[in-house]
Amino acid sequence: MKSVLLIGVGRFGKHIAMKLNDLNHEVLAVDLYEDRINAVLPYVTSAQIGDSTNVEFLSSLGIRNFDACIVTIGDDFQNSLQTTSLLKELGAKKVIARAATGIQEKFLLQIGADEVVYPEKQLAAWTAIRCTADHILDYIELDDDYSIFEVSVPVSWSGKTILQLDVRKKLGINILGIRKAGKLNMSIAPDTVLGTDSSILILGQHKVLQKYFHI
């Protein structure tokens, strides 16, 4: 269990609060607007109405006590920038800030954000891949070179074992797991047989996966 300070609980922030609650983390939510705080109360440990650009208010929260501080302010970038900067000045262990543009991402990193999330950009990439490749079920971009994709088992792979396919040696692709009937099995072995009624999690370079799976 970790202690998280969540600043800004609009739509994006509320979804983060809900997920943190599912993961059983302690969350203190902060927002300038009472209606937003009321809406997120069922999903957080505690909440306060306040101005995150006010250094006295932030200091009163005990910033150093949180494992992570997440800034999801989306309607006023100046406030987001100032809040991120103040959190670092007050000794925050880790600050994750939201950006809506590439320029915002650069500024947030320059003033000390440890990580920046760019939900619109990330969702756009996910949507573009999903809508242009029917066999791609999900994907996670690890860095500029590698990704994990969940794909339908190719017909040419069906009925064959992991060892027979030997895609790690031939293509540089690692099969991490198999999902069947909604259940994910990460304990695969060389004699595991693939079937078209399943999907697989694969790890590899973007260019290799895109070429082989026609993404």
Share above pLDDT 90 across residues of the chain, in percent, rounded to a whole number = 49
- At 8, the pLDDT band (50, 70, 90 cuts) reads very high
**How confident is the model over 169-182, as pLDDT tens digits?**
888 888 888 988 88
Distance CA 148, CA 197 (A): 20
pLDDT at 77: 92
Question: Minimal CA–CA distance to 117: which of 3, 15, 2, 206?
Answer: 15
94 lies in the same domain as 172 = no
Residue 202 domain boundaries: 122-212
Q: What is the pLDDT of residue 215?
A: 64
Domain identity same for 146 and 96: no
φ, ψ at 201 (rounded to 5°)? -95, 120
Is the same domain home to 40 and 79? yes
Domain finish residue from 89, 117, 145? 117
Q: Are residues 127 and 29 in the same domain?
A: no
Would you say residue 16 has pLDDT above 90? yes
Residues 135 and 54 in one domain: no
| Listed residues 68, 91, 117: the one ending a domain | 117
Co-location of 133 and 165 in the same domain:
yes
Q: Can you say how many angstroms the Cα of residue 10 is from the centroid of all Cα atoms in its chain?
A: 17
Domains contained in the chain, number: 2
110 or 133, higher pLDDT: 110
- Residue pLDDT, tens place only, 17-75: 999 999 999 999 999 999 999 999 999 999 999 999 999 999 999 999 999 999 999 88
pLDDT band at 102 (very low <50, low <70, confident <90, very high): confident
Pick 19 or 124 by higher pLDDT.
19
Mean pLDDT computed over every residue of the chain:
88
For residue 129, pLDDT over 80 is answered with no
Same domain for 131 and 70: no
Q: Is 173 exposed, middle or buried (0-12, 13-18, 19+ CB in 10 A)?
A: buried
Pick from 72, 90, 117: which residue ends a domain?
117
DSSP 8-state class, residue 144: S
What are the tens digits of pLDDT across the range 142-189?
Answer: 777 888 888 888 888 889 998 998 888 888 888 888 988 888 888 888
Q: What percent of the chain has pLDDT over 70?
A: 90
Query: What does the pLDDT read at residue 18?
Result: 94
pLDDT given at position 143: 73
Is residue 136 very low, low, confident or very high in pLDDT (cuts 50, 70, 90)? low
Q: What is the pTM of this model?
A: 0.67
